[in-house]
Chain A
Amino acid sequence: MRARPRRGPKQNSRIVSYLTHHLQMFIASLGYLSRQPFSTLMTSAVIAIALALPAGLYIALDNASHLSAGWDGTTQISLFLKDNVSIEQTEKLAEKLRLDIEIEKVSIIDRDQGLKQFQQVSGFGDAIKFLDENPLPHVITVQPIVDQNRPDQVIHLVDALQEEALVELAQLDMQWVKRLYTLLEVAQRGVWIIGSLLGLAVLLIVGNTIRLDIQNRREAIEVSKLIGASDAFIRRPFLYTGMWYGISGGLLAWLLIAVSLGIMEDPVQKLAALYYSSYELSGLGSSDIVILIVISCILGLGGSWMAVGRHLSDIEPS
């Protein structure tokens, strides 16, 4: 009855008994779950699906941005020069452009060369023979240095080149790169939203499962309270149970993603082969896996925390 009870020599010190109980509950809650494998698996599977969806979308986006990054090397700006520009002026301009730090490579297609190429690839070869003079201007092609994180830099370069006095038209051949980046950005936001919603779903799933656990173990909770268990002591096994739900859900989600990628790998390679590319799907990296498990662990813990905070105080011995 003493307000501040002394701890006898037969009792562990406060910190040791605290850690001991944590360790016991860490293992005991795992044992509790393994004794009802079917319902544990069901709950974990629901969590896994909820996690695998955003994680899978994340991977899809990651792959898509790799794909576009692979094509950035061929981003090319064509400068169609004004009709009256001579080949000497063209060469001078090309020299000047080569000094620009934003430009990797500059080459000249003079108007005769251009006509030949046009004849070969356009299929209008015969028609062009009837022309009195070559209608094409000299062209300078510029390959910019592309910073993958800043696709808009290229646009600025195009604008700058357009300002050159000799240039009639500066045209970015890969306008779509910017569009793709923007699209990916939109998709990324989408994945964040879906991810947040499904994360919330995991929180609620775990919370509800723990709520049922609390109801099932009502008797044990009442008795524990009667013999002097603190709230933290009673809370602990449920929190660990929630954490295990989260971790097993996360592991299962990883498995789901790995299997899905395995299924898709073959057709993706076939598709890549059709584009003469050896593109390979990249899966979850080890740090991604750690992040996935940590997030699912936190969600499990959070869900059980919600349930425990809400429902344990309802149970009082009577």
Chain B
Amino acid sequence: MIRFDNISKRYPGGFEALSRVTFHLPRGKLAYLTGHSGAGKSTLLKLIALIERPSRGQIFLDGINLNNMNSKRIPQIRRNIGIIFQNHHLLYDRPVFDNVAMPLMIQGYRHREIGKRVRAALDQVGLLNKEKAQPITLSGGEQQRVGIARAIVHKPALLLADEPTGNLDPELSREIMELFARFNQFGTTVLIASHDIDLIRQMKFPMISLSQGTIESNELIDTGRLGLAV
């Protein structure tokens, strides 16, 4: 699903966030991306979502080389990715329902279908009764779950999460991680960046550790078979 081939990312000013990163996350897998802050986790996720472009190397997403992607086609790629942020990026000028419905609106789903899917997504994150609430009135954990509902409502093939439990207490964090595990059971490929090593160890999924922009260790088994297609 995601293949990084010798990726380096140097920001203007000379800071090298990633250097020579190579890994392969197969379709249908869930993996964690760990490392201290500044290790390059966020940069790696941004490269997949085409928010940043690599300085060197090639990224393949479902077999498509992202280097050749012109900006006109970026929206199409992003529509198949669900992205979850640490600060959840909810829009406070509209209720929960409208926030979650955004990806469906963009993709031109029918009105009735939008209602059904938004409620299904909210149900999955346990917030079915909050669809009319304003996001600002929700707790941090609830807001994060609204963000997750928005990321999964259009059933993307790939889910990216950047420190999804960053601001949450251990119990809520665990709940969220279990939620991701459940999505993965339904076939979604998931990549979660988190520095919460203790929690991750409990979850028993493969881990890619980054340190100062390079891969320190990689528990994904087929790293060696880079030549293979997705």
Contact = CB atoms under 8 A, between A and B. Distances in A.
Interface of A: 1-3, 5, 7, 10-12, 14, 16-18, 20-21, 219-220, 222-231, 233, 316-318
A228 B75 contact: yes
Contacts of B108: 7, 11-12, 14, 16-18, 20-21
A14 B73 CA distance: 16
B21 interface: no
Contacts of A18: 108
Interface string B91-112: 1010000000011011111100
A60 to B, nearest CB: 46
A220 B75 CA distance: 15
Contacts, number: 82
A17 B104 CA distance: 11
Nearest to B99: A223
Interface in B25-62: 49, 51, 61-62
A226 B79 contact: no
B158 A12 contact: no
B93 A1 contact: no
Classify chain B's interface size. 20 to 34
Given A2-B62, A316-B51, A228 B110 contact: no
Contact of B102 (A2, A5, A11, A227): A227
Contact of A1 (B51, B80, B109): B80
Contacts of A226: 49, 51, 78, 83, 89
Contact of A12 (B64, B109, B157): B109
Interface in B147-165: 150, 157-158
A230 B77 contact: no
A317 B108 CA distance: 22
B171 interface: no
A227 B91 contact: no
Contacts of A220: 91, 93
